[in-house]
């Protein structure tokens, strides 16, 4: 049994695909900031009785500082390494979890492929205007400082990542529904995937 556990742990670290049953038990939410990943993810985790593993917080734990400090002190490459390690650990530790991911995780092919191999993925899609309004509502007014340029940048980022986000197992457009309706749609899709009663 110990050898089997060791093999399983190594497979998780080196990206061997999880079984379909194991993959379904981890639900990763992908999409740009402001799509509703944290809010809907917490509600889904509570509903399912799964662990809620916000990958951004896990990255900060690994680094011992904030994401902004990681980027400023060590750069993007170091941030991506912390992101990959945080995902690897989440996969190893949590057999049942809802995992909201940073919006740019899809930019690193190895990390994104690991996510796709070990988690059921849901793209929480929203219009650029909704992303920006939600980020501002969270108290981050930086995007509003130069709103026309920020909106153009946001559209370009979304266009550049859409092909990656579209690899998700499921997609929910959170712009077209209230928070409660978005949650009910997410809950229904995930419960169906897990073969649980609605």
pLDDT digits (tens, 9 = 90+) for 110-169: 999 999 999 999 999 999 888 888 887 776 655 445 567 888 888 999 999 999 999 999
Which pTM does this prediction carry?
0.85
Residue 134: per-residue pLDDT: 82
**CB of 93 closer than 8 Å to CB of 26:** no
Residue 38: per-residue pLDDT: 95
Q: What is the CA radius of gyration of the chain?
A: 17
Report the relative pairing of strands 97-100 and 170-173 from DSSP bridges.
unpaired
Name the burial class of residue 186, with classes exposed (0-12), middle (13-18) and buried (19+) by CB atoms within 10 angstroms of its CB. Answer: buried
- Structure-token pair, residue 6: 């060791």
User: Which CATH number does the domain 19-192 belong to among 3.40.50.300, 3.40.1010.10, 3.65.10.10, 3.10.20.310?
Assistant: 3.40.50.300
How far the first Cα of the chain sits from its last, in Å, is 36
Q: What is the mean pLDDT of the chain?
A: 88
């Amino acid at each position: 049994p110990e050898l089997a556990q060791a093999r399983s742990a190594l497979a998780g670290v080196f990206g061997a695909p999880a079984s379909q049953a194991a993959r379904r038990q981890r639900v990763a939410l992908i999409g740009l900031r402001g799509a509703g990943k944290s809010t809907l993810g917490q509600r889904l985790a509570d509903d399912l009785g799964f662990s809620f593993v916000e990958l951004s917080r896990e990255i900060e734990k690994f680094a011992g500082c904030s994401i902004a400090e990681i980027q400023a002190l060590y750069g993007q490459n170091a941030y991506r390494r912390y992101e990959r390690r945080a995902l690897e650990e989440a996969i190893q530790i949590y057999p049942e979890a809802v995992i909201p991911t940073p919006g740019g995780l899809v930019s690193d092919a190895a990390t994104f492929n690991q996510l796709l191999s070990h988690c059921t993925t849901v793209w929480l899609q929203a219009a650029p205007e909704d992303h920006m309004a939600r980020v501002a509502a969270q108290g981050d007014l930086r995007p509003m400082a130069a709103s026309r340029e920020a909106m153009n940048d946001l559209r370009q980022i979304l266009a550049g990542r859409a092909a990656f986000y579209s690899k998700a197992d499921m997609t929910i457009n959170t712009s077209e529904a209230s928070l409660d309706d978005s949650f009910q749609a997410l809950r229904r899709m995930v419960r169906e995937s897990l073969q649980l009663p609605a």
